[in-house]
Structure 1
Amino acid sequence: MSIGSDSKETGAEAFAGALRDAINAKRMTLSRLQEKLRARGNRVSLATLSYWRSGARRPEGAQSLAAVADLEDLLDLDRGFLTKHLGPTNRTGPLGPIQFPIDEQAIERAVRDAYAALGAPYPDMSREVTTHSVTDVDADGNVAYCITRSIVQSTSGTITATPFLELTPGVDTPPPLISAVSGGRITQRYSHPNGEVHGVLFEFDTPVTAPNTTVVEWSIEYPPGYPTMRETGHAVARQCRELLVWTRFHPDALPDWCEERIETPTGTTVAEVTLDGGTSVHQVRRAFGPGAIELTWGYGPRE
């Protein structure tokens, strides 16, 4: 966002002035600021912070813009205070490779069919910068409800919508109820004949031009009588700055065992996870993708 048509400062200069004032008001050194950013998973170099403060460079790309959001928090500024001083940019930052996140060729073909039916280009021209997915498990131990919030970035041109899909490889299911919670509306729905891919086209409140972002939120409900679902997760086709999958169990249905499965182009890892006396499991990865984070659970002896 530019600071106004009557300003003679460039985005870098205006941002630098606002950042300097905030750092001076907080009486914080750049070294201390870098340490606090690093603790949040933002590995911005001391030199980069110095360039930003002097106006020699300006934040560019999704990773840097995420660091700016953390700077606003660390310096006790209103959300968007520093960002509003940045002028327009044509950079998206490093995108990394794009790849179908799971090793299932039949499912990828079905996903391509879904994109075509929804009128969306494949691969998608957006990426998830940050995604938090929260799943609730009912008293029978099955997935009942999932809500997901994402910061979505356009990687090329202007996008007005993006598909969100529910995949159940190897399991034929009826379509769950996918709803728009905030940030847009659902304009189309699709279910593949194999019953393993269901999805919607989520239209944003306003178009998004690269490298800008928007925040969207959608939910999935699994109605009574839905096939047993004791697995949840989230997959991304491009690298995501932060991916969180939080599974919350009903107090009367705490599992006897849980297993985490992480699938990336370099391979698949499987590990046992525990609730540690609580009622939930959270899985978080930074700079993750392409790939998928999954959690499965069960009751009684493990098969």
Structure 2
Amino acid sequence: MSARNPEPPDDTGSGSTAFASTLRNALLSRGIPLRRLQQRLRDRGYEVSVSTISMWQSGARRPERDTSLDVIRELEAILLLDDGQLADTLGPSRRVGPDRHESFASLQELEANPFTEEPAAELFERSGSVGVHVDAESKVRRVVNRTLWQARRDGARDAVIFFGLNPSEPVPPDVRGLLGCNLVDVSADLDQDLVRATLRLHSPLKQGELAITERESTGHVPTEPEYEFTLVAPRRQAEVLLHVHFDPAHLPHRCRVLVESASGTTTHAVMLNGDCATHAEFNFGPGQVTMEWEW
């Protein structure tokens, strides 16, 4: 072990526990009181209170990696630690942004009712994509949603989701989880052309942790063709992606995308790439993206 390193920490926990143990052992090894450490940080241009440093070394609070990394590097230099010896114990930030979620009902301009009522979100979407498979008769046969979720609190596991129904479908589609989740409590309201389900992660998350899921809706053969599909983004996401796959033997003559949000409505043509039409929006939501096609 390098002569610059203190004795290894007494515990091997993660996150704030490992950071606190490493910091505490370094302080003991160097014999630096907290007030002197605060003054040395201040001399280098960083204002951190003694109480904050005390909570860091006790494990009562952890520094957030995205706002305190420069301070952590100064701590490593002052305490003669190797580069990253403190920073690497933190792992990813558990900070969660503000909840700017709009309900599915409000985005779809549905009257509030028990079926569309949503509980307080414990998971929220950071990004998502929807793949839509359209057959040669312009009927949607399969929809796959891939979503990156982030936990708003420890133990987060569930999210309420909705699938729109084609009024011409004789029965609701089959829905199921494909990756990282199951769909439970599935029910349909044919008057509102909606299926509601609870997406349940295979394992609960801690606040700030991420999980990717895929879910599928497989439709029974509708009696009428369909000429559009709408992706609903209930909150601001880093990216939303809609791609529509057509039967290679029967491609549409043209496709257009309609984007609706609080900032306004835009529409433009989308060129086919082989048998697929794709549109992406970045830092988008709440709002919705609709792909339309013509034969």
Structure 2 length as normaliser, TM-score? 0.66
Q: Which amino acid aligns with 2:127?
A: T
- Cα distance in 2 between the residues matched to 1:266 and 1:86: 38
Q: How many residues align?
A: 228
Q: Does 1:292 align with 2:253?
A: no
Shift of 1:260: 0.6
Q: Does 1:280 align with 2:276?
A: yes
- Cα distance in 2 between the residues matched to 1:172 and 1:225: 5
Q: Which amino acid aligns with 1:92?
A: V
- Cα offsets for 1:134-169 (capped at 9, x unmatched): 111112122111111111112245322112211259
Instruction: Provide the secondary structure at the position in 1 that maps to 2:115.
Output: helix
Partner of residue 216, structure 1: 213
In the TM superposition, 1:189-200 aligns within 5 A as 189-200=186-197
- Cα distance in 1 between the residues matched to 2:209 and 2:153: 10
In the TM superposition, 1:30-109 aligns within 5 A as 52=69, 55=72, 85-87=89-91, 90-95=94-99, 97-100=100-103, 103-106=107-110, 109=112
Any conservation in 1 of the 2:163–2:196 contact (CA below 8 Å)? yes
Shift of 1:85: 4.4
Any conservation in 1 of the 2:107–2:287 contact (CA below 8 Å)? no
Larger Cα-atom Rg = 2
Any conservation in 1 of the 2:132–2:140 contact (CA below 8 Å)? yes
Q: Which amino acid aligns with 1:297?
A: W
Relative to structure 1, the CA distance from residue 56 to residue 142 in structure 2 (aligned partners, 3 Å threshold; closer, same or farther) is farther
Any conservation in 2 of the 1:114–1:191 contact (CA below 8 Å)? no
- Cα distance in 2 between the residues matched to 1:202 and 1:50: 33
Q: CA RMSD in A?
A: 3.3
Partner of residue 147, structure 1: 144
Partner of residue 27, structure 2: none
Q: Which amino acid aligns with 2:72?
A: G
Which one of 231, 234, 238 corresponds to residue 237 of structure 1? 234
Partner of residue 253, structure 1: 250
- Cα distance in 2 between the residues matched to 1:177 and 1:288: 29
- Cα distance in 2 between the residues matched to 1:295 and 1:269: 12
Runs of at least 5 residues in structure 2 that lack an aligned partner in the other structure: 1-12, 24-64, 75-86
- Cα distance in 1 between the residues matched to 2:247 and 2:227: 13
- Cα distance in 1 between the residues matched to 2:154 and 2:15: 23
- Cα offsets for 1:48-104 (capped at 9, x unmatched): 9997477359xxxxxxxxxxxxxxxxxxxxxxxxx9843475520344x32246654
Bigger helix fraction: 1
Q: Which amino acid aligns with 2:101?
A: I
Runs of at least 5 residues in structure 1 that lack an aligned partner in the other structure: 11-47, 58-82
Partner of residue 14, structure 2: 2
Q: Which amino acid aligns with 1:93?
A: G
- Cα distance in 2 between the residues matched to 1:158 and 1:87: 18
Instruction: Provide the secondary structure at the position in 2 that maps to 1:229.
Output: coil
- Cα distance in 1 between the residues matched to 2:241 and 2:260: 15
Instruction: Provide the secondary structure at the position in 2 that maps to 1:55.
Output: helix
Relative to structure 1, the CA distance from residue 265 to residue 183 in structure 2 (aligned partners, 3 Å threshold; closer, same or farther) is same
Shift of 1:258: 1.3
